[in-house]
Amino acid sequence: MPIKSEPVEVNIGPQHPSTHGVFRMVAMIDGERITDVKMIVGYLHRSMEKLAEERTYTQNIPFTDRMDYLAAMTSNLGYCLSVEKLAGIDVPERAQVLRVIFAELQRIASHCMATGAFINDCGAWQTPVMYTFRDREKVLDLFEMTCGARITTNYMRIGGVAFDVPDEFLPALDMLINDDLPFRFEEYDQLLVGNEIILMRARDVGVVSPEMAINASLSGPMLRSAGIAWDLRKADPYSGYDQYTFEIPVGYNGDSYDRMVIRIEEMKQSLRIIRQAVHILPGGPHKTEVPLAIRPPAGEAYSRVESPKGEVGFYVVSDGGAAPYRWHVRAPSLINLSVLKEMTVGQTIADAIVTLGSIDINVGEVDR
């Protein structure tokens, strides 16, 4: 008869230093091992889908910034693409290239945040977060230069982008992507990828098998770390992504370490894309003229975009009116959490925190 240790219920969150926002995980632990995990979300639920039904299509764009507030540009892009698909609006060439540039810059900023927070969960005293945030600041300065806001950018419009880039944008972007960021990413490679303690803490922690990844409809780094080469920019090229040559990094056994290394590699690939995009940036209008209260024909459209967290999809149903009849968002953070239980049960609390950090959820997107 082993020494009886009664299971203890431990609350991780909502005010917990390492959960990303107000996300609460109730874990039943026996000694060090977790026996059961229950997820409680909804602390940040603003019922955006109900609000969107009472605002015009253009007024809904700011909602997309505040969902995944770490990747506002890609959410804007997803929503504008679905409305353009519904209303059959074509986007000028310059706008498409600008959209790609800003989407990739946003990916770099979001992955910087994700990598820094993940290492912080492994226990490093905020040192990596400071470095990754320093690089993220430079990207946000570029956003502020063009659209005035750093995080809730609200930069994309139906039919193109809100403003054309100012003159000093391109030289600043050129200096950033050629002289500054490549050396930073080399630093991350040396510091983080080979670090033995991170290897010990992240290897074989939160493992997802390829079958489970597909069955649980995971997307983004979660899917690619399980060994499935699936990236929407290659599978369903939108906004001119097929003209650029870049590669998708794919992991081997779906553990937290693979996800971290994939995010760092993706940042390098984004740099490649931005260089090619800047090279072929054409002149011309940055937006087609679209009436402010656009009334797309009755019908529905579903379009999706590869955001740093995964596949962000917008399912817009219109009844011909000025406001969408139904406005649904496929939130990758919420769906990526469906495997949290399979990944953490049986491991220790420390591993559960590391696994949660590697999934890289954004509670604004989970709760909408």
Partner 1 sequence: MTPRPLTLITDNWYDIRDLSNLSGKIEELIRDANGPHWAVWVVSALLGAIGIVAFIGGVAIINIWIERRVVGRMQSRLGPNRLGPFGLLQPLADAIKLMQKEVLQPKAADGLVFSIAPIAFTVPGIVIMAVLPWGRNMSLARLDVGILFILAMSSLGALAVFTGGYGSNNKYALFGAMRVIAMLVTYEIPSVLALLGLVLFSGTMDLADMVLFQEKFWIPLVLVQPLPFLIYFISSSAELNRTPADLAEAESEIAGGYHVEYSGMKFGLFYAAELINAVAISAIIATVFLGGWWFYKLDELVPGWMIFIGKIYAVYFLFVWTRGTLPRFRIDQLLAFAWKWMTPMAFANIIVVAAEVLIWDETGASAGLVLPLYIAFNMLFAGVLIVAWVRFMGPRFSRFPDRLRYFDRIDVPSLPAMRAPAPAAAAPKSGSGAPARSASEGGGDLRGGRLVGGPRP
Partner 2 sequence: MPHAATVMLAGATVAERIRAAVPDAVREVAPQWVVLEPSAAFEAMAAVRDDELLDGKYLVELCSVDQITRIDVVYHIASLAQNHLFELKVPADHEHPEVPSVTPLWVGATLQEREVYDLMGVRFPGHPELTRLFLWDSFPGHPLRKDFLALPGGQKAGLSQFPKQIVGETGGEFRPRRPGTGE
Partner 3 sequence: MITDTGIVIAFYVIGASTVVSALMVAAVRNLIHAVLFLVITFTGVAGIYIVLSADFVAMAQVLIYAGAISVLLVFAVMLTPTGDRRNAETSFQAPALVLAGLLLAVVVFVIYDTDWRIASRGQFTTTASSLGRAFFSPYVVPFEVASVLLVAAMVGAIILTQDEDEEAGHAA
**Could you tell me if 121 and 276 are in contact, meaning their C-beta atoms sit under 8 angstroms apart?**
no
Listed in sequence order, the residues at least 6 apart from 347 whose beta carbon sits closer than 8 Å to its beta carbon are 33, 34, 205, 206, 355
Interface with partner 3 includes 282 (CB under 8 A)?
A: no
Bridge-partner residues for 315, per DSSP? 302, 328
If one asks whether residue 36 binds partner 2 (CB under 8 A), the answer comes out as no
Q: Which does 322 bind (CB under 5 to 8 A by kind): partner 1, partner 2, partner 3, none?
A: none
Considering only residues 54, 90, 187, 247, which one is a binding residue for partner 2 as defined by CB under 8 A?
Answer: 54
Q: How many CB atoms lie within 10 A of CB 120?
A: 19
C-alpha–C-alpha distance, residues 96 and 92, integer Å: 7
Which partner, partner 3, partner 2, partner 1, none, binds residue 339 by CB below 5 to 8 Å per kind? partner 2
Tokens of 127: 């040192």
What is the nearest approach in angstroms of partner 1 to the Cβ of residue 215?
4
Distance CA 162, CA 6 (A): 59
- Coil, strand or helix at 179: helix
State which of residues 30, 180, 325, 346 lies at the interface with partner 2 (CB under 8 A).
325
Residue 136 vs 304, nearer CB to partner 2: 304
Applying CB under 8 A, among 302, 322, 348, 350 the residue interacting with partner 2 is: 302
Q: Is the dihedral of CA 228, 234, 238, 244 positive or negative?
A: positive
Q: What is d(CA 224, CA 222) in angstroms, rounded to the nearest whole number?
A: 6
Q: Which of partner 1, partner 2, partner 3, none does 304 bind, CB closer than 5 to 8 A by kind? A: partner 2
Applying CB under 8 A, the residues found at the interface with partner 3 are 1-3
Applying CB under 8 A, the residues found at the interface with partner 2 are 41-42, 45, 47, 49-51, 53-54, 212, 214-218, 228, 230, 235-237, 242, 300, 302, 304, 311, 313, 315, 317, 325-326, 328, 330, 334-335, 337-339, 367
